[in-house]
């Protein structure tokens, strides 16, 4: 794919819709071009925290967001498409991959929750380059409360100057629920297919 940043109108045009995904409903979510200011402790883990919201520490030329929900109450995903200039799309992926390798346990400073069991998954091989990771957020109202374990999954894919960031969490059905979160492959492939067709046209 040509390394040319897409404008917001172009990203809106290539973002998946209900017509592209059988069995899912697609809604717009807000996503601005500014770099994320979410922080982590230790600081080197910030790219993972930023990715939990579909963003990065790099300003984008444009960003658009979608929430993709399964009609039969199965897993879905949120997705942010971001176009970048001057090599920043590559830097987004590099920063996330590096942080995911180094950070197994860290704190999401903004929400005050710890994240644990962060593991870089095998490269799924999407697009020009991709990163997949899983982690567990330990959500508690106070330090005295037993935390609720919330599994998260993130898949970030670069196609040229565009980064597609998919993220999903698994809503625990009870204290013994240990099912990992996952981003449905059909969502990723539908979005990448539409983005790739746009680049080829």
pLDDT at 1: 44
Chain segment 135-167, per-residue pLDDT in tens: 999 987 767 778 888 999 999 999 999 999 999
pLDDT at 177: 59
Q: What is the dihedral of CA 125, 126, 131, 137, to 10 degrees?
A: -110
- Structure tokens belonging to residue 141: 């109202």
Judged by average pLDDT, the poorest of 2-16, 58-72, 95-109 is 2-16
Q: What is the mean pLDDT of the chain?
A: 92
Chain segment 190-199, per-residue pLDDT in tens: 999 999 887 6
Tell me which H or E stretch contains 10: helix 8-14
Chain segment 82-127, per-residue pLDDT in tens: 999 989 999 999 999 999 999 999 999 998 899 999 999 999 999 9
SS3 63: strand
pTM of the prediction? 0.92
Note whether 124 and 89 are within 8 A (CB): no
* DSSP codes joined into one string, 115-159: EEEEEEPPP---SSEEEEEEEEEEE-SSTTSPPEEEEEEEEEEEE
Question: pLDDT: is 4 or 121 the higher one?
Answer: 121
């Amino acid at each position: 794919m040509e390394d040319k940043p897409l404008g917001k109108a172009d990203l809106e045009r290539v973002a998946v819709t209900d017509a592209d995904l059988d069995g899912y409903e697609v809604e717009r979510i807000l996503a601005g071009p500014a770099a994320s200011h979410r922080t982590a402790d230790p600081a080197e883990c910030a790219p993972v925290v930023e990715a939990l919201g579909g963003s990065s520490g790099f300003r984008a030329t444009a960003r658009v967001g979608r929430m993709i929900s399964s009609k039969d109450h199965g897993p879905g995903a949120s997705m942010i498409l971001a176009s970048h200039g001057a090599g920043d799309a590559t830097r987004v992926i590099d920063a996330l991959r590096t942080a995911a390798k180094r950070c197994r346990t860290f704190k999401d400073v903004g929400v005050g929750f710890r994240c644990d069991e962060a593991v870089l998954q095998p490269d799924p091989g999407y697009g020009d380059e991709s990163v997949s990771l899983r982690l567990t957020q330990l959500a508690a109202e106070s330090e005295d409360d037993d935390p609720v374990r919330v599994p998260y999954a993130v898949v970030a894919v670069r196609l040229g100057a565009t980064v597609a960031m998919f993220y999903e969490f698994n809503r625990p059905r009870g204290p013994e629920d240990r099912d990992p979160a996952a981003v449905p492959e059909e969502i990723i492939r539908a979005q990448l297919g539409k983005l790739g067709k746009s680049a080829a046209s």
